[in-house]
Amino acid sequence: MKHIPVLLDAVMRALGDLSGRTIVDATFGAGGYSRAFLDAGARRVVAFDRDPNVLGDADALKRDFSERFEFVPCPFSYISELDELYDAIVFDLGISSMQIDVASRGFSFRYDGPLDMRMSGDGISAADLIQRLDVDELAKILRDYGDVKKSAGLARVIKDAGPKTTFELKELVRNPRDVAPVFQALRIAVNDEMGQLARALDAVPNRLVVGGKCICVTFHSIEDRIVKNTFRNWVTPVGDPRLPVVAAAKFAPIKMAVPTDAEISNNPRARSAHMRGVIKSY
């Protein structure tokens, strides 16, 4: 299944006129956002992705747009290494259809395959992570990243069994409602997704021009909470409100958007998405 960019229309409306603008597409995926930015007249797009399987799509955009498109095969936390300012930085968070729908990558409980879940192909797999963690550590991951109830007992079952495939793990989760959260929790831990997001967002204010925008599309409550709290801090005036002088907020909010019924009908994976954004004030 080809990945369909979620909330693309809302993101484009939030960004406004892109003519002559420089944009960071922090999560390239299949290139849907990057292509839309370039088609809308962006002067240059710099795209990040750590998944080596997206290189074909990146090469296609490079052929179509030449020097206007640059691909960086790194996690988006490397935004901190950029040495120029941009008009917008856009994150389409979560996992892509190309990752979910390939059984050999081990992201989905709908297909039997190795319990891998590595976005970059490097580092330790989900199966290896289970082997390395003790029960308390594994339970914390299930609780913090999947909101799994009775995580301690389930962690013991998973640890003792040492699953090596997606179906082996799925069969260990007796409550069907916990299957997706367990897979989500392990995927987040394997790829350090929340750490990557926090580090990337920390770098954003120093990589945007005045008037520049940061847009984030989130898909689950954990990453959405990080984005929401970070943006709230950015748009809050600095200083003691009881004093006569309070410094203006560095950012102003952009109206949140969620998918329309039509978009959800066309792409069910969009149903939990939220778009949040801010614009740099000074």
Number of domains observed in the structure of the chain: 2
In Å, what is the CA distance from 218 to each residue of 66, 114, 131?
30, 27, 30
- Relative to beta strand 208-218, strand 44-48 is unpaired
Q: Which residues of 232-244 are buried (b: 16+ CB within 10 A; e: fewer)?
A: eebbeeeeeeeee
pLDDT at 223 over 90: yes
82 plus 201 within the same structural domain: yes
80 plus 131 within the same structural domain: no
- Relative to beta strand 274-280, strand 208-218 is antiparallel
Banded model confidence at residue 244, pLDDT cuts 50, 70, 90: low
pLDDT at 100 over 90: no
Q: Specify which of 3-12, 68-77, 92-101 reaches the highest per-range mean pLDDT.
A: 68-77
* pLDDT value, residue 249: 77
27 plus 67 within the same structural domain: yes
* pLDDT value, residue 241: 60
Say if 3 falls within a structural domain. Answer: no
**Domain end (from 169, 191, 213):** 191
Say if 150 falls within a structural domain. Answer: yes
pLDDT at 69 over 90: yes
Tokens 């990945």 sit at which residue?
A: 3
> Token pair for residue 11?
């993101």
113 plus 233 within the same structural domain: no
For 104, residues 6+ apart whose C-beta sits below 8 A from its C-beta are 113, 114, 116
> Token pair for residue 27?
């999560």
CATH label of the domain that carries residue 148: 1.10.150.170
pLDDT at 95 over 90: no
pLDDT at 109 over 70: yes
* pLDDT value, residue 2: 63
Say if 248 falls within a structural domain. Answer: yes
Q: Average pLDDT of the chain? A: 93
Please write the tens of the pLDDT for every residue from 249-268. Answer: 799 999 999 999 999 999 88
- Per residue, the 3-state secondary structure of 134-157, as one string, reads CHHHHHHHHHHHHCCCCHHHHHHH
Lowest average pLDDT, out of 61-75, 205-219, 232-246, 261-275, goes to 232-246
88 plus 12 within the same structural domain: yes
207 plus 187 within the same structural domain: no
**Domain end (from 191, 219, 252):** 191
Question: pTM of the full predicted structure?
Answer: 0.91
Say if 1 falls within a structural domain. Answer: no
CATH label of the domain that carries residue 27: 3.40.50.150
Say if 98 falls within a structural domain. Answer: no
* pLDDT value, residue 97: 74
**Domain end (from 191, 226, 258):** 191
For 202, residues 6+ apart whose C-beta sits below 8 A from its C-beta are 80
Please write the tens of the pLDDT for every residue from 160-172. Answer: 999 999 999 999 9
> What residue type is assigned to position 262 of the chain?
A
185 plus 210 within the same structural domain: no
Mean pLDDT value across residues 134-158? 97
Of the two residues 136 and 250, the one the predictor is more confident about is 136
Instruction: Please count the other Cβ atoms lying within 10 Å of the Cβ belonging to residue 158.
Output: 23
pLDDT at 140 over 70: yes
Banded model confidence at residue 237, pLDDT cuts 50, 70, 90: confident
Q: Domain of 179?
A: 103-191
